[in-house]
Chains A and B, each alone.
Chain A
Amino acid sequence: MNTRRELNRLPTGADLRADIRRRRRRGLFYRWLLLSSIVLALLSLTTLLLNIANDAFGLVALEYRRDPDTLGPAPLAELEQDQLIAILSENLSRNRLRVLEREAPLAQRSVEELRTLVLEEVARQRVVESATLFDSLFQRAATEAALREHHPNARIVFRSWLNWSFLATPMASQPEFAGIRTALLGSLWVIGLTILFAFPLGVGAAIYLEEYATPNRFNRLIQTNINNLAGVPSIIYGMLGLAIFVRALSRLTSGQAFGIANDNGRTILAAALTMALLILPLIIINAQEAIRAVPRSLRQASYALGATKWQTIWHHVLPVAFPGILTGNILAVSRAIGETAPLIVVGASTYITFDPQGPFSKFTVLPIQIYNWIAQPQEEFRRIAAAAIIVLLVMLLSLNSVAIVLRNRLRKSL
């Protein structure tokens, strides 16, 4: 009864058409509103990237104690290795030379490094002021004039803070001479070891859970546990690493057990173990999905031919699941490369000027170097932080695009 009365009250004729028009208009309005949220997300991504580019390039005012091009027989850029060494030994005090020789013999250093040394030690180059990319591009004249007014003796040049020597030189206290060499190598060491630990463990656990585990209590516990571990904040893993790998197992992670003189366990090995635990759940979950996607018929065919369980897994399931497993692993690794918080807790050092020598070295990694530079007050550190971020993002994006290409290929082949 009730419904019929309501039906009678529904609009008809012109009212109905007006009502439909109104609802359509409302729908259209909200459609644009929803779309605007996506636009907003894209906008923030663009702003973020532009903001970084804005800091990584731009005009700088350089001041020299001595003009670098009058130091040798030719302009600095054209000098050979022995000429550079000659300039250094002429102009530097004997003590300073000895310190430099002890860090690394001058004769063994590359031309790039020597040139930087001459600029830093003899010409005493200083970036006294730097401008952002947008100011340098769109208000070039005004920016240049301002720089010239502040520093009448300075040379004004366009500088890309991201350049070859930035990649190739180690950390330094002056932002214009600081580079990310040690941090990059540290990142590579940590990631390499992390893969070494996490890959076999993660894939092994996934095989166990998908192929062997019967649905009993213990196996269900493992599964729930892995899902929960994936949601534990990364800094908690850092605390686990600090208490177990750095402190409790310090004889092992510091390398004392292998005769290496290290006073504590804040080493690459401890960091890699921590990182491995952190990305393990991700690897397991991804590998499980890849293994689950392998058709049952494949396994049954193998069993029918008399293969054992492991033979079936090794020769039939894993090769088919491999691209999927690899994709998951790459994504996990790219997460590990950008992860900062656990390594701060585990104790990556921030000021390290020598290359990591092995798993028992003290180390720094790229994100921690960036964090350290962001925390510095001078503007030039912010510029090199931006340049280092570009390096980090390029690394991550290329890894992720490899993963995406792999995934698309896989989707086609299935």
Chain B
Amino acid sequence: MAEHLSTSARAAGAQPVPIAERLRRRRRIGESMIQALLWLCGAVSILTTLGIVIVLGRESWLFFGDEAVSLIEFFGSTTWQPAIGHFGIWPLLLSTLITSTIAISVAVPIGLAAAIYLSEYASPRVRAWIKPILEILAGIPTVVYGFFALYFMTPLLRAIFGPDTVQIFNMASAGLVMGIMITPIICSMSEDALSAVPRALREGAYGLGATRFEVATRVVLPAALSGILAAVIVGVSRAIGETMIVAIAAGAGPNFTFNPFQAAETMTGHIARISGGDISYASIDYNSLFAIGLTLFVMTLSLNLLSQRIVRRFREVYE
């Protein structure tokens, strides 16, 4: 103790810098190295994004640089037949849009209604049961949903509308099952938005004599609308990027049709089918996949950015 005192006294005598300051100034190589290492871990995510952008951009550049391809044809033509040099993305894009629209029109009503029930009506005990089950639904691999679409939904549709109308592979069954797949996502995101609405708003409405349903639809729902909108947008982006269900159930081969009971390949389905085979790296087929991938990436990225923007705005209102 005495020795300790004397050293610190000596130190104070010899150097006017206080000990706390000296400790702070001391170089700690180990600490800095760890910090640099952790920084690198964070930077990997930036590298991933850069990687995606560079890879998609470079191969698409090669694709559009080919004399057989023109940008106008890519975004304007309705035939995709690489074998004879026709690269119009519309057949693929259209079936992506049709399956996503079907999925969203299933998922939004069911997901939103379930969210309203969970946040406004359900007792904590019921919620404790329902939420894990919804999580299970959200955790089922999409290849399993594909099985369900092909072997349950398609026969069902064929039994209802007749096997002549509904083809074995069709966009409707893929879309419907995709709707079931994204229902839990929309439900849980909307429920978060609904629960974030302050209690005082509800109590004010109850105080004016509103019924529970009126509170839910006229007070809570409008207040949470932006959060719900964000959930719907995320759902759309999921539907557009979903691969396995459409690869299994929507059919192989691009087909420009508005009829949901016909087979038509989506963008993701096309990428999966073509790249699954032994494709040569130098071919225009290979490059064309990346042009489709870039289109897909731009679509989902802008949807995600839009949704994040909406959420951020919505948070500002209540904080």
- CB pair A238–B275 under 8 Å, yes or no, is yes
Choose one: B44, B51, B271; the contact of A240 (CB below 8 Å): B51
Q: Within A267-287, which residues are at the interface with B (CB < 8 Å)?
A: 277, 280-281, 284
Choose one: B51, B135, B276; the contact of A344 (CB below 8 Å): B276
- CB pair B116–A222 under 8 Å, yes or no, is no
- CB pair A201–B38 under 8 Å, yes or no, is no
Binds A, one of B9-17, B83-91, B197-205, B238-246: B238-246
- CB pair B113–A33 under 8 Å, yes or no, is yes
- CB pair B272–A344 under 8 Å, yes or no, is yes
- CB pair A240–B52 under 8 Å, yes or no, is yes
Given contacts A45-B136, A340-B143, A344-B272, contact A233 B55 (CB under 8 A): no
Given contacts A23-B214, A37-B113, A37-B114, contact A240 B48 (CB under 8 A): yes
Given contacts A34-B116, A41-B137, A235-B268, contact A340 B244 (CB under 8 A): yes
- CB pair B271–A239 under 8 Å, yes or no, is yes
Q: Indicate with 1 or 0, residue by residue over B112-156, a CB within 8 angstroms of chain A CB atoms.
A: 011011100100000000101111110111111111101110000
**B308 beta carbon closer than 8 Å to chain A:** yes
Q: Within A67-119, which residues are at the interface with B (CB < 8 Å)?
A: none
Select from chain B the residue with minimum beta-carbon distance to A373: B147
Binds A, one of B65-73, B74-82, B257-265, B293-301: B293-301
- CB pair A280–B44 under 8 Å, yes or no, is yes
Given contacts A208-B39, A310-B30, contact A235 B293 (CB under 8 A): yes
- CB pair B136–A400 under 8 Å, yes or no, is yes
Main secondary structure of the interface of A (DSSP, over half): helix
Choose one: B49, B152, B308; the contact of A48 (CB below 8 Å): B152
Main secondary structure of the interface of B (DSSP, over half): helix
Given contacts A37-B109, A234-B243, A396-B141, contact A229 B117 (CB under 8 A): no
- CB pair A340–B304 under 8 Å, yes or no, is no
Q: Which of B49, B109, B147 has the most CB of A within 10 A?
A: B147
A277 to B50, CA, bound (A): 12
Given contacts A47-B152, A386-B147, contact A236 B297 (CB under 8 A): yes
Given contacts A235-B271, A334-B139, contact A208 B42 (CB under 8 A): yes
A335 to B234, CA, bound (A): 18
Chain B residues near A370 (CB-CB < 8 A): 143-144, 147
Given contacts A232-B300, A240-B51, contact A392 B141 (CB under 8 A): yes
A213 to B234, CA, bound (A): 28
Select from chain B the residue with minimum beta-carbon distance to A308: B31
Choose one: A26, A36, A52, A244; the contact of B213 (CB below 8 Å): A26
**A24 beta carbon closer than 8 Å to chain B:** yes
Q: Within B274-291, which residues are at the interface with A (CB < 8 Å)?
A: 275-276, 281, 289-290
- CB pair A229–B293 under 8 Å, yes or no, is no
CB distance from B86 to the nearest CB of A (A): 22
**A371 beta carbon closer than 8 Å to chain B:** yes
A74 to B110, CA, bound (A): 60
A202 to B243, CA, bound (A): 26
Choose one: B38, B213, B272; the contact of A204 (CB below 8 Å): B38
Chain A residues near B248 (CB-CB < 8 A): 371, 374-375
**B43 beta carbon closer than 8 Å to chain A:** yes
**A228 beta carbon closer than 8 Å to chain B:** yes
- CB pair A45–B137 under 8 Å, yes or no, is yes
CB distance from B170 to the nearest CB of A (A): 16
A194 to B114, CA, bound (A): 35
Select from chain A the residue with minimum beta-carbon distance to B267: A235
- CB pair A232–B297 under 8 Å, yes or no, is yes
CB distance from B254 to the nearest CB of A (A): 17
**A31 beta carbon closer than 8 Å to chain B:** yes
Chain A residues near B214 (CB-CB < 8 A): 23, 27
CB distance from A310 to the nearest CB of B (A): 5
CB distance from A274 to the nearest CB of B (A): 11
Chain A residues near B45 (CB-CB < 8 A): 205, 222, 225-226, 229, 280-281, 284
Select from chain A the residue with minimum beta-carbon distance to B187: A41
Chain B residues near A204 (CB-CB < 8 A): 37-38, 40-42
Given contacts A221-B46, A280-B48, contact A240 B55 (CB under 8 A): yes
**A385 beta carbon closer than 8 Å to chain B:** yes
Q: Which of A202, A224, A231, A338 has the most CB of B within 10 A?
A: A231
Given contacts A45-B137, A48-B144, A371-B248, contact A37 B117 (CB under 8 A): yes
A267 to B114, CA, bound (A): 43
- CB pair B304–A389 under 8 Å, yes or no, is no
Choose one: A55, A213, A235, A244; the contact of B42 (CB below 8 Å): A213
- CB pair B146–A374 under 8 Å, yes or no, is yes
A247 to B290, CA, bound (A): 14
Q: Within A189-230, which residues are at the interface with B (CB < 8 Å)?
A: 200-205, 207-209, 212-213, 219, 221-222, 224-229
- CB pair A371–B143 under 8 Å, yes or no, is yes
- CB pair A392–B144 under 8 Å, yes or no, is yes
**B317 beta carbon closer than 8 Å to chain A:** no
Select from chain A the residue with minimum beta-carbon distance to B290: A239
CB distance from B47 to the nearest CB of A (A): 9
Chain B residues near A389 (CB-CB < 8 A): 143-144, 147
Chain B residues near A201 (CB-CB < 8 A): 41, 44
Interface residues in chain A, defined as those with a beta carbon under 8 Å from any beta carbon in chain B = 23-24, 26-27, 30-31, 33-38, 40-42, 44-45, 47-48, 51-52, 55, 200-205, 207-209, 212-213, 219, 221-222, 224-229, 231-240, 242-244, 247, 277, 280-281, 284, 306, 308-310, 334-335, 337-341, 344-345, 347, 367, 370-371, 374-375, 382, 385-386, 389, 392-393, 396-397, 400, 404
**Closest A-B pairs by Cβ, 7 of them:** A233-B241, A338-B141, A204-B41, A37-B113, A27-B213, A341-B243, A208-B38
Beyond the given pairs A200-B41, A236-B241, A400-B136, 20 more chain A to chain B contacts, judged by CB atoms under 8 angstroms and listed by A's residue number, are A34-B114, A34-B116, A37-B111, A41-B184, A44-B137, A48-B180, A52-B147, A208-B35, A222-B42, A222-B43, A225-B46, A228-B308, A235-B243, A239-B293, A240-B51, A309-B35, A310-B31, A341-B268, A347-B275, A367-B143
- Would you mind naming 13 contact pairs between A and B with Cβ atoms under 8 Å apart? A27-B211, A27-B214, A33-B113, A51-B148, A201-B44, A204-B38, A212-B35, A225-B49, A231-B234, A243-B55, A338-B142, A374-B150, A392-B141
